[in-house]
Structure 1
Amino acid sequence: MNSPAAPRPRSVRPATPVTAATVTQKPSGMPVHKYGRYEAVDIPDRTWPGNRITEAPRWLSTDLRDGNQALIDPMSPARKREMFDLLVRMGYKEIEVGFPSSGQTDFDFVRSIIEEGAIPEDVTISVLTQAREELIERTVESLRGAHRATVHLYNATAPVFRRVVFRGSREQVKQIAVDGTRLVVEYADKLLTRSLHGGSTAFGYQYSPEIFTDTELDFALEVCEGVMDVWQPEEGREIILNLPATVERSTPSTHADRFEWMSRHLSRREFVCLSTHPHNDRGTAVAAAELAVMAGADRVEGCLFGQGERTGNVDLVTLGMNLFSQGVDPKIDFSQIDEIRRTAEYCNQMEIHPRHPYAGDLVYTAFSGSHQDAIKKGFEAMESEAAARGKTVDDIEWAVPYLPIDPKDVGRSYEAVIRVNSQSGKGGIAYVLKNDHALDLPRRMQIEFSKIIQAKTDSEGGEVTPAQIWSTFQDEYLPTEENPWGRIALRSAQASTTGEGGDALTVEAVVDGADTVLTGTGNGPIAAFIDALGSIGVDVRVLDYAEHAQSEGATAQAAAYVECAVDGKVLWGVGTDANTVRASLKAVVSAVNRSYRSA
């Protein structure tokens, strides 16, 4: 006879399911009518989405110009010099060092680094100027004696500037750029003759149609072509055309479209260094720079940690480290990121946010319990894989959850990777004990101790430091001579074999404050010790046991962990000793003492 079919479970359906129709966002009431949309680029056969960045672009640091001009307290000459020296040490080969026609301070700084020989011969300095003759002359004059130098000329080309600021036509605005370029050539020929005729100085030219993001593409192209007609780029005579997002106005994808369009339509493209200069007004400068490189940009201009006007320039540190994290050499040395950060904070007199990518205090730190557990397991898996392949961890591909790079590669230690608060779990606490104290807790003991820490964070709030975790662990499991506690203190133990092949154990201990000798027999030292404890009325059963060496070598300490049922109460004990037997006996004592302590 067939059994009746089991009834099908009834599906549980919410009375009112959550759907798009039930999520009722309300109009904000903000004056959205005041703002227009950015212009899309008609480029249906765009190719940049299929490109990958496989090599670092050229970098230009503008910390000393665009970054400095945005500071509440602009850098003193000493702070400027410290920033310049840092950029050189890191490996930047193109550095914008100032706006020498804007005032004596910038002019004097440019002269000082030239005259004091602070500029390596393979580093090109750049200086900015507007398109006025007296400013151009002063700018070129500041470069006398430089090994390699570039003059960077700019003028705004966007419609609102043509209409409101210059009150001129497209042709008039274009002529500003063309005339300015001609003046740069004339003054360079006059003041830096050796530069233009193969002497000891190499001279270059950069032009920026400022507010490129709001400039009509056909007009931006027309202006750049007019500038190139004057400069006459050719083999060995590059021109840098910088297309700045002076104010970030569109999505990074639109920025990339504009770069691909310009790269396709520029004549003499092989002699052009196409440069991108994103600002972060929409919070997407890094993405805009990366997509611009995919779309044809040869160089990126920015500042360390995104310093700059308003919301800042694109962050060169994040850009470089993004490449590093994908296995692409950024050609810039970020291996001492805390030194870089400290110097930038001193020079700019502005702190780096603790969540700043790659450099903030908390970016390699996990508080969440699930994150900590995954990180702990990731480190263990890396160690196991490296051992199995006969390699070091540094020689295999990095694969630790929640850590996009190895903190050690930028000069960080692992000490701050896992920090404990009320959101933490057993994994993070276990990681701290293993990493700092070579104690590899069994899983069930991790659960037990994490509850103790959780109770501490719930009652006291805030973060529990590694030192506090260790202090709590010692107080809970490891009585010391300085801080003794518990009913039993082990003094010595002497093991021998019985005639039946078992083990006999003689233990000298302090029990309830009195010196006591305990004896017992059993199958192994732990069993013999449990038998001895029975003589003083302690009922113990061992449920689980684990041990490991805490280091290598003949003097290595052993750690033992014993899960016991003491008078029906289940808890763990821990013991450490140079002798593995004594370590295991101490672990049993730890569990017994804890049972009486919590009674």
Structure 2
Amino acid sequence: MLKDPSTKYRPFPQIDLPDRQWPSRTITRAPRWLSTDMRDGNQALIDPMDSEKKQRFFDLLCKVGVKEIEVGFPSAGATEFDFIRGLVDNGRIPDGVMIQGLTQSRRDLIEKTFESMAGAKTACVHVYNAVSPAWRRIVFGMDKAEIRQIAIEGAKLLAEQAARFPETDWRFQYSPETFSTAELDFSLDVCEAVIEVLRPTPEKPLILNLPATVEAATPNIYADQIEWFCRHISDRESVVISLHTHNDRGTGVAAAELGLMAGADRVEGCLLGNGERTGNCDLVTVALNMYTQGVDPELDLSDIDAVVKTVEYCTNIPVHPRTAYAGDLVFTAFSGSHQDAIKKGFAAQAQRNDQFWDVPYLPIDPADLGRSYEAVIRVNSQSGKGGVAWVLEQDKGLKLPKRMQADFSRHVQAMADRTSRELNAADIWGAFEAAYHLDGEGRFTLVDYHESASPGGGAERRFAGRIGVDGQVRSVGGKGNGLLSSVLAALREELGVEMDIADYQEHAIGTGGDVQAAAYVEARTEDGRTVFGVGIDSDVATASVRALLSAANGLGSVAA
């Protein structure tokens, strides 16, 4: 058993904000986005990205529409510095994209950071130092005044170094690292000191990043911290409040969303949540959460599989199949009840008069992310008739009657139990062909036939056909008030097959010159047995004849 936590862990203190406003707010517009995949994400990799992978990731971020990209820690070494210089010198930075470099608040590191990005049209230098009690006491052995002075010196160096390279439009970002575990009044005091040095304006604001460097409380606490800070910081119009959440408690996305509701302007994170320890905020999830609420995230995620493929290649970390929106299985239903609801939802969606998405179990249209509907429902031993029918409809265009769905699902269930694996579309089609004798293995096969009217001119119809019976061709004939009844008469009188039609349905498959017909028969015998048949042919009448023979194959009786 776990130990008594009250003897080892202190509960996080509540924020004194009785008139908090964020709970009644909603997110109505996209924030500014900053990707830190190439810095925070990269330093969390077992094998950091080389220049080729960093370039590929940078290009992906630009294609998706991220306008602010933290491209690295230029002073960390030659690999980082040279890559960033290459972006600038080789003209690889698109118009409208601002690169950003991170540095600790030290002269030599700040100078190196400016040198790496000098010449870029717009670039941001991001200076940070930790401010929380544990870091002050354990890591640095400094008091508040000394920590505050580090920030001030860093801000002075930003202004000094920017003057060396006037050809670049320099922007500045300051992070009171470990903000979420620091005293709010001290974080505010440090940030005010930085503002006093840099003198930001609404036209050229200072970015103040307020990170949950370690997620130590519930998301509502972080939202309270952000709202308190936004209320108390001076000259709010001249600062951009940025969020940088981590996922130590599993709620990095929620913290970012509530932080936006609390007044923040920008979200930092990684495309699919990579980052130190349990990861950074997942930008894809935040963006698509907005999208499902009718808010344009201003990021193009219409080809989610391409995003996943690139991220996996560059990070050498597989994306979990249950990752929100991006995982292989997030739009897949195995449960029979889920499959049935999704199938009905798609059918209802096609008949709706408005454009709004409303399909059970699917909060977003998979097609919006470049996913195909065929991947939505997959079949294993947990699946039901709705899922099986869906796969057949998507793969072959067959729209099985409801009772036939139940009949065929028994065959699929038996195959799934026997194989103990997921069944693909080819498996299901093979099972369908075998179950309804479309594979040529049945006792009865249609060779050819002729239908004619009664010689007397009445309503009676005559069927004359050649049917393969156990491999031997026999000529048979029957008459009735239509084609189906005359075929039934021929089966009964000459082949000993006793059955009556309980239900008949048909529909077209495809359109244009390649259209085919599918016919479905539900038949019953004198002793109460039910058997189903299906026929497919370019001619609807022939399809119906084949459907009757398919049902007869299910009975299997034949006269001597």
Regarding TM over 0.5, the answer is yes
1:403 deviates by 1.1
**Corresponding position of 1:455:** 414
Q: Distance between the aligned counterparts of 1:510 and 1:267, measured in 2?
A: 91
Instruction: Give the one of 402, 410, 415 matched to 2:374.
Output: 415
2:505 counterpart of 1:571? no
Are positions 1:520 and 2:478 aligned together? yes
Listed as ranges, the matches of 1:127-138 within 5 Å are 127-138=101-112
Unmatched 5+ stretches in structure 1: 1-26, 195-200, 390-394
CA distance in structure 2 between the partners assigned to 1:553 and 1:149 by the alignment: 57
Residue aligning to 1:496: 452
Residue in 2 that maps onto 1:289 = 256
> Is the aligned partner of 1:510 residue 2:468?
yes
Aligned to 1:193: 166
Q: How much has 1:555 moved relative to structure 2?
A: 4.2
Matches within 5 A, 1:583-594: 583-594=543-554
Residues in 2 aligned to 1:115 and 1:264: alpha-carbon distance in whole angstroms: 42
The one-letter code sitting in structure 1 at the alignment partner of 2:552 is V
Q: How does 1:138-537 map to 2 (within 5 A)?
A: 138-189=112-163, 191-194=164-167, 201-385=168-352, 389=353, 396-480=355-439, 484-498=440-454, 499=456, 500-536=458-494, 537=496
**Contact 1:95/1:125 (8 A) holds in 2:** yes
CA offset digits 1:508-563 (Å, max 9, x no partner): 21223322221111121101111111222221111111111112235421100001
Deviates more, 1:204-213 or 1:553-562: 553-562
- Distance between the aligned counterparts of 1:135 and 1:433, measured in 2? 62
TM-score under structure 2 length normalisation: 0.97
Q: 2: CA distance between counterparts of 1:71 and 1:511?
A: 67
- Secondary structure of the structure 2 residue equivalent to 1:75: coil
Matched residue type, 2:279: G
* CA displacement at 1:237 relative to structure 2: 2.2
Q: Matched residues in 2 for 1:468 and 1:544: separation? A: 27
Q: Is 1:99 paired with 2:63?
A: no
- 1:77 — aligned with what? 51
SS at match of 2:375: coil
Q: 1:577, 1:30 → 2: CA distance?
A: 72
RMSD (Å), alpha carbons: 1.4
Residue 243 of structure 1 aligns to a residue whose secondary structure is strand
Q: C-alpha separation between the residues in 1 aligned to 2:470 and 2:82?
A: 81
- The 3-state SS of whatever aligns with 1:574 is strand
Taking the aligned partners of 2:490 and 2:93, their CA distance within structure 1 comes to: 79
SS in 2 for 1:304: coil
Alpha carbons of structure 1 residues 351 and 555: separation in structure 2 relative to 1, 3 Å: closer
Q: 2:98 — aligned with what?
A: 124
Q: What SS is found at the alignment partner of 1:376? A: helix
Cα displacement (A) at 1:383: 1.4
Match of 1:582 in 2: 542
Letter in 2 for 1:556: V
CA distance in 1, matches of 2:389, 2:461: 34
- Tell me, yes or no, if the aligned pair for 2:497 and 2:557 is still in contact at 8 Å: no
Retained in 2: the 8 A contact 1:430–1:441? Answer: yes
Sequence identity (%): 52
Equivalent residue letter for 2:411:
I
Contact preservation (8 Å) 2:202, 2:239: no
- State the match for 1:4 in structure 2: none
Q: 1:539-593: CA deviations, max 9, x gaps? A: 1111111111112235421100001124532110000111111111111100111
C-alpha distance in 2 between matches for 1:447 and 1:73: 51
Runs of 4 or more consecutive aligned structure 1 residues displaced over 4 Å after TM superposition: none
Matched residues in 1 for 2:542 and 2:8: separation?
A: 79
Per the alignment, do residues 554 and 193 of structure 1 end up closer, same or farther by CA in structure 2, a change over 3 Å counting? Answer: closer
C-alpha distance in structure 2 between counterparts of 1:459 and 1:38, whole Å: 53
2:509 aligned residue: 550
1:557 and 1:314 map into 2 onto residues whose CA distance is 51
Deviation at 1:479, TM superposition (A): 2.8
1:55 aligns to 2:29 (yes or no):
yes
Residue 126 (structure 1) shift: 0.6
Q: Which whole-Å CA distance do the structure 1 matches of 2:445 and 2:138 have between them? A: 88
- Hey, what's the Cα distance between the residues in 1 that align with 2:157 and 2:444? 92
Task: For residues 404-462 of structure 1, give each alpha carbon's deviation from its aligned partner in whole angstroms, at most 9, with x where no partner exists.
Answer: 11111111111211111111000000000111101100000000000111112122212
Contact 1:325 1:405 in 2 (8 A): yes
- CA distance, structure 1, for counterparts of residue 112 and residue 512 of structure 2: 70
Tell me if the contact between 1:420 and 1:463 (Cα under 8 Å) persists in the aligned partners: yes
Q: How many residues are aligned here?
A: 554
1:52 Cα shift?
A: 0.7
Structure 2 Cα separation of the partners of residues 235 and 305 of structure 1: 32
Q: Return closer, same or farther for 1:156/1:555 CA change in 2, 3 Å cut-off.
A: closer
SS of the residue corresponding to residue 42 of structure 2 reads helix
Q: Distance in 2 between matches of 1:514 and 1:123?
A: 76
**What residue identity is the alignment partner of 1:509?**
I
Alpha-carbon distance between aligned partners in 2 of 1:204 and 1:555, rounded to the nearest angstrom: 62
